[in-house]
Structure 1
Amino acid sequence: MTAPLIRHDVLEGGIAHITLSRPAARNALTLAMVSDLRATLAAVEADPAVRVVVLSGEGKAFCAGLDLKAVIMGDEAPQGAMANMALQELYAGLMLQVHRLRQPVIAAVQGAAVGAGMGLALAADVRVAGDTAQFLVGAVRLGLSAGECGISYHLPRLIGAGRAFDIMLTGRPVLADEAAAIGLASRVVADDALLDAALDTARMIAGNAPFSIKHTKQVMWANLEAPSLQAAIELENHVQVTGLLSADFAEACAAFAAKRPPVFRGE
């Protein structure tokens, strides 16, 4: 029986761990992997018990991007503009799905995060880097645009337009220490401690109320596009007042007064 290329485990505390499992190919994405990953993400989003998602790659790389040999250069390579656009939209749609996921996504990045792999890491809400991490826009060195898989949207929002232009136009690798210094990764740990570090962050997030987790992510992304401070504050006010009416807020207040940990039920 063929081993699954996407592994999915729901851990204690409301954490889903999704693993790209094609280590011999540095987890390069085939059409089957993208389809399986999108189905897995949909299942995770629909699971009310899951509060946080950790996304990792098996082996020495996070994801080497699109598998060019299997998808572009193989016997079933798309022919013509429409077929190629459909392929591009399938891969790029994965980034949109991660970005819009109800739960926060933490990418645990070791080794190469190239092209679509970099796009996948950027679509996550938090990136923890192993000390071998390398973020690389590959398309610009292949006669294509570096603006693919959401990279031209996410990267300047994370590190600023000037740095994003440098990285995207040169196609140079961004190593782990630089990634942390410019805000591309939240921190750097040894590769053998990477998954534990990502899970520690996930547990801290999952310890908060489901309303708090979901709406903090949504407000953050929405207000990155806010037309004004006033519009941003109005959204915050509406979300905050809704939270004040929740049973979990009442539980948090009772727990604070009793000096005990709160027990959140998502109500």
Structure 2
Amino acid sequence: MSPTLNPPAVSSEILVNFPKDHVLQLTLNRPKSLNALTPQMVEDLRRVLNWFEDEPSLWVVIFTGSGRAFCAGADLKAWNRDEERGQPATAETILNNIHGFASISRRESKKPFIAAVNGHAFGGGTELALNCDLVVASKDANFGLPEVKRGVVAMQGGIPRLARIAGHQLASEMLLLGKPVTADDARNRFGFVNVVVPPTDVLPTALDLASQIIANSPDSVQSTKKGILLAYKHNNEETVRVHVNIPETVGYMYGDNIKEGLRAFSEKRNPVWQNPGTKTKL
């Protein structure tokens, strides 16, 4: 880890690594429970991701899981205990959880998220992957939203994202039947997986994608990612009108990296990027 990075302390249920410059890797670490989320894991992820958002030297995050699963979703045994105690999930609880499942599934980050799905992803695990910008999946992974089989609903962002990506009928197939789909189907039919690879290639492939991202200007990447998110909310013209005025775009227009990129092109060399928002004072 770079001596300049000071991430918040977390429990053993989350592993925090920096596999290369500008890249954060977060590993869900409850392999015996298929990385089902506990309140402690959610708090760990919330704290680390809030720190990541504000750390200018980190440009990309990769999510993966320990053991044979990526994430089995919520801890249903704990959920059952809450129900038996008369503490059901409420609309207020869900809406107050502004970043969604695992503090990821509804988080609108300006930085790219990559899911390295090393094994099965069910429930919230699939919702988590659906909110990532790039998804690499093991060829033996399965994705499922089986909430209806357990009397619950995928309300942490999975329904609207899957419907937008896959369309009404395919989204209904996953959500109303509650049956899992293969990694190949998630890529070829449903459209939310980018690459399917052998199990041993999942993390290397995710790291390669991260390397390709950080080879680009971080200012341009962050403005572009925000533009993609805005396109979910607005028509074309309104997206452009909003996009040109957001902080990430203003920072790109007046920062050092746009100057460096154009200068490097003219000089026929590779650019040397600075952290986003860097602006040399005259």
User: Does residue 92 of structure 1 match 2:100?
Assistant: yes
Q: Partner residue of 1:217?
A: 225
Which structure 2 residues correspond to residues 84-233 of structure 1 after superposition, within 5 A? 84-85=89-90, 88=94, 90=97, 92=100, 94-95=102-103, 99-145=107-153, 147-181=154-188, 182-226=190-234, 228-233=235-240
The farther-off stretch of 10-19 and 191-200 is 10-19
Checking the alignment, whether the CA contact within 8 Å between 2:105 and 2:157 is kept in structure 1 is: no
Instruction: Measure the CA separation in 2 of the matches of 1:191 and 1:9.
Output: 20
Cα distance per residue 1:124-146 (max 9 Å; x no partner): 1211111111110121111223x
Instruction: Measure the CA separation in 2 of the matches of 1:95 and 1:141.
Output: 24
Cα distance per residue 1:202-245 (max 9 Å; x no partner): 1111121121121111110111221x322123345556676343
Q: CA deviation at 1:13?
A: 2.5
Is the partner of 1:166 in helix, strand or coil?
helix
Checking the alignment, whether the CA contact within 8 Å between 1:109 and 1:130 is kept in structure 2 is: yes
Is the partner of 1:124 in helix, strand or coil?
coil
Query: Could you list the runs of 5+ residues in structure 2 that have no partner in the other structure?
Result: 1-9
Q: Partner residue of 2:4?
A: none
| Two-structure CA RMSD over aligned residues (Å) | 2.4
Query: Could you list the runs of 5+ residues in structure 1 that have no partner in the other structure?
Result: none
Checking the alignment, whether the CA contact within 8 Å between 1:119 and 1:148 is kept in structure 2 is: no
Q: CA deviation at 1:161?
A: 2.0
Instruction: Measure the CA separation in 1 of the matches of 2:236 and 2:100.
Output: 31
TM-score (norm 1): 0.89
TM-score (norm 2): 0.84
Q: CA deviation at 1:17?
A: 0.4
Instruction: Give the helix-richer structure, 1 or 2.
Output: 1
Is the partner of 1:101 in helix, strand or coil?
coil
Cα distance per residue 1:158-207 (max 9 Å; x no partner): 22222111111111111011111031101101111000001100111112
Checking the alignment, whether the CA contact within 8 Å between 2:142 and 2:180 is kept in structure 1 is: yes
Checking the alignment, whether the CA contact within 8 Å between 1:13 and 1:203 is kept in structure 2 is: no
Aligned residues: 261
Is the partner of 1:262 in helix, strand or coil?
coil
User: Does residue 256 of structure 1 match 2:262?
Assistant: no
Checking the alignment, whether the CA contact within 8 Å between 1:30 and 1:66 is kept in structure 2 is: yes
